[in-house]
Structure 1
Amino acid sequence: MSKIFKENKKIILASASPRRRELLSMITEDFEVFTADIDEREAEIEMEEKGVPVLKVSEHLALLKARAVFEFLSEEEQERYLVIGADTSVILDGVIYGKPVDRPDAERMLSSMSGKVHVVATGVALITANGENTFTEVTSVEFNPLDLYQKWLISDYCKSGSPYDKAGAYGIQDKGALLIKKIDGDYSNVVGLPVARLAREISYMVQYPLE
């Protein structure tokens, strides 16, 4: 779409993720990328101390990212921009699996998720000068059993280097898909941005042209 808003509003994506950039381009190619400088681990610890439910952690982080970018803008820019923040959590048995620190950590995560159902929760925050809106989209993912073939797949996948920049140590959009038996919910949410829900939420904040 060359134009998605009736009014003169532009989008900033507060994320450096190439996967989120690609997904957002399904809604519009007219956006800018501006990353937020926040300590995610410190924020997660603070939320844990406050008793924030694990399913809502990503939503809180998304809001922190969006606010950091929005507050950097001038008052004039704030009137013209919609800032979108996003964060994805992989959750198994109430525990958040972040990005693995090394290969043994990645293999541990993927092995522990095998034969089980985990949850991928992507929190999204939208901010304009008129207010804020946040939501969390949840998708269930079931891994194949941890048989000899699954163990070989995990070892081969970890050799590729792909797991190390991804929450939960896998990407459903790459060879990590071979580990998965089935999903229940939005595929794009597992990749990192629930585009169908996001498009609708944007429309609630800033009207689309109807022509």
Structure 2
Amino acid sequence: MPLQVILASASPRRLALLRQIGIEPARIAAPEIDETPQPGETPRAFARRMALEKLLPEPDGFVIAADTVVAAGRRILHKTESREDAAAYLALLSGRRHKVHSAVAVRAPDGRIACRVVESVVGFARLDAPQMQDYLASEEWRGKAGGYAIQGLAASFIDFLSGSYSGVVGLPLHETAKLLRGLGWR
């Protein structure tokens, strides 16, 4: 019988993604950490550090933690809480490509840790004013890194994707399964 899996995230998207590959976490334990980037920290390094900092020690199971960072160049596009931030991010992403860094970290019951960062490139079509206003009115942007959710209404904006779709949603599934198996989970 496999050891239990603990998801160190309250994200309903990450839970749904794990279930998609047949993993039902025994419990969810979302750690409270400071998610402020360090001075000069790159988006990739920030995603990795956040995933590792979310790992909880758990002697009876495997802990999965993740972080997803949307970046325009070296600029980290944080989770949006205001309509103004979401509008600014949509305007910035409109008609251009950006990167999404999806980090996943796994801690085995014996304390071993493995971590991977998957980089995806996402291209947005040029958005016109009605498209932006409709998306902002939907409020789907609220709490989303970069101000959008690729699995939702913003899917109609995406004209290019290279990398991991599930990583852009919030958890790179192939890498997650590979890390779990590599640490002995069955």
* Residue 10 (structure 2) aligns with: 16
In 2: Cα distance, 1:151 partner to 1:90 partner: 22
Pairwise CA RMSD of aligned residues? 1.4
Amino acid at match of 1:64: E
Task: Give secondary structure in 1 for the equivalent of 2:146.
Answer: helix
Q: 1:123-138 to 2 correspondence within 5 Å?
A: 123-128=103-108, 129-138=110-119
Give the TM-score of the pair, scaled to structure 1: 0.82
Equivalent residues in 2 for 1:49-128 (5 A)? Answer: 51-66=40-55, 69-70=56-57, 78-128=58-108
Q: Residues of 2 paired with 1:55 and 1:151: CA distance? A: 31
Please list every run of 5 or more consecutive structure 1 residues that lacks an aligned counterpart in the other structure: 71-77
- Is the contact made by 2:43 and 2:101 (CA closer than 8 Å) also made in structure 1? no
Displaced runs of 4 or more, over 3 A = none
Q: Please give the per-residue CA displacement for 1:44-100, whole angstroms capped at 9, x wherever unaligned.
A: 2xx22xx4332121110011111xx32xxxxxxx33211111110000021000012
Give the paired residue count.
184
Question: Are the aligned partners of 1:89 and 1:98 in contact in 2 as well (CA < 8 Å)?
Answer: yes
Letter in 2 for 1:83: V
Letter of the structure 2 residue corresponding to residue 96 of structure 1: I
Contact map agreement 1:122 1:136 (CA 8 A) in 2: yes
Deviation for aligned residue 1:30: 2.8
- Which structure features the higher share of helix residues? 1
Q: Are positions 1:27 and 2:27 aligned together? A: no
Supply the distance in 2 between the matched residues of 1:64 and 1:166 (Cα, whole angstroms): 20
What secondary structure is seen at the aligned counterpart in 2 of 1:164?
A: coil
Q: Which runs of 5+ in 2 are unaligned?
A: none
Give 1:75's aligned residue: none
Could you tell me the TM-score, scaled by structure 2's length? 0.93
Larger Rg: 1
The more displaced of 99-108 and 82-91 is: 99-108
Q: 1:21 to 1:207 in 2, by over 3 A?
A: closer
> Residue type matched to 2:42 in 1?
P
